Chains A and B, each alone.
Chain A
Amino acid sequence: MTTTPAPLIEVAGLRKSYAGRAVVDDVSFTVDEGEIFGILGPNGAGKTTTVECVEGLRTPDAGRIRVAGLDPVRDHAQVTGLLGAQLQESEIQPKLTVREALELYASFYPDPLDWRPLAGRLRLEEKLGTRFAKLSGGQKQRLFIALALVGNPRVVVLDELTTGLDPRARRDTWQLIEDVRDRGVTVLLVTHFMEEAQRLCDRIAVIDKGRVAALDTPSGLIRQAAGATVISFTPSAPLDDQELAALPGLASTAHKDGRVTLTGGDETVNAVLTLLARHHITAHQLRVSDATLDDAFLDLTGAGQS
Chain B
Amino acid sequence: MSTATATSATTPSAPVNRAVLKAEFTLFRREAGSLIGILLFPVLLLVILGSIPSFRETDAGLGGIRLVDAYVPVTVLLGMIAGGIQSMPPIITGYRERGILRRMSTTPVRPAAVLGAQMGIHGVAVLVSVAVCLAVGRIAFDVALPRQIAGYLLALLLSVVVALALGALIASRARTTKISNAIGSVVFFPAMFCAGVWLPVQAMPDALAHIVELTPFGAAAQALNQAAAGDWPAWSHLVVLAVWAVALTGAAARWFRWE
Q: Is A105 an interface residue (CB 8 A)?
A: yes
- Check if B103 sits within 8 Å of A87, measured CB to CB: yes
- Check if B103 sits within 8 Å of A108, measured CB to CB: no
Residues in A70-122 with C-beta less than 8 Å from chain B: 70, 75, 77-78, 80-81, 83, 85, 87, 89-96, 100, 103-105, 107-110
Please, which residues of chain A bring their CB within 8 A of the CB of B1? 70, 75
- Check if A107 sits within 8 Å of B99, measured CB to CB: no
Q: Is B138 an interface residue (CB 8 A)?
A: no
CB closest residue in chain B, given A104: B23
Most A CB contacts (10 A, CB to CB) among B19, B20, B24 go to: B19
Contact with A along B90-116 (1 / 0, CB 8 A): 000011001110110111110000000
Please, which residues of chain A bring their CB within 8 A of the CB of B94? 94
User: How many chain-B residues does the 8 Å CB contact rule pick out?
Assistant: 30
User: How many chain-A residues does the 8 Å CB contact rule pick out?
Assistant: 30
Q: How far does the Cβ of B2 sit from chain A's closest Cβ, in whole Å?
A: 7
**Chain A contact residues, majority secondary structure:** loop
- Check if A77 sits within 8 Å of B99, measured CB to CB: no
- Check if A92 sits within 8 Å of B108, measured CB to CB: no
Q: Is A208 an interface residue (CB 8 A)?
A: no
Q: Is A25 an interface residue (CB 8 A)?
A: no
Please, which residues of chain B bring their CB within 8 A of the CB of A94? 94, 98
State which of B6, B20, B24, B95 has its C-beta within 8 Å of the C-beta of A77.
Answer: B6
**Docked complex Cα distance between A17 and B57 (Å):** 70
Residues in A195-242 with C-beta less than 8 Å from chain B: none
**Docked complex Cα distance between A88 and B190 (Å):** 41
Please, which residues of chain B bring their CB within 8 A of the CB of A83? 106
State which of B8, B12, B26 has its C-beta within 8 Å of the C-beta of A80.
Answer: B12
**Docked complex Cα distance between A109 and B12 (Å):** 9
**Docked complex Cα distance between A154 and B30 (Å):** 36
State which of B19, B30, B99 has its C-beta within 8 Å of the C-beta of A104.
Answer: B19
Q: How far does the Cβ of A96 sit from chain B's closest Cβ, in whole Å?
A: 6
- Check if A92 sits within 8 Å of B109, measured CB to CB: no
Q: How far does the Cβ of A106 sit from chain B's closest Cβ, in whole Å?
A: 9
- Check if B95 sits within 8 Å of A93, measured CB to CB: yes
- Check if A107 sits within 8 Å of B19, measured CB to CB: yes
CB closest residue in chain B, given A131: B30
Residues in B8-30 with C-beta less than 8 Å from chain A: 8-10, 12-13, 17, 19-20, 23-24, 26-27, 30
Query: Which 8 residue pairs spanning A and B have beta carbons closest together?
Result: A90-B99, A107-B19, A90-B103, A85-B106, A91-B98, A108-B107, A110-B9, A95-B30
Which B residues lie at the A interface, using CB under 8 A?
Answer: 1-2, 5-6, 8-10, 12-13, 17, 19-20, 23-24, 26-27, 30-31, 94-95, 98-100, 102-103, 105-109
Which A residues lie at the B interface, using CB under 8 A?
Answer: 55-57, 70, 75, 77-78, 80-81, 83, 85, 87, 89-96, 100, 103-105, 107-110, 147, 151
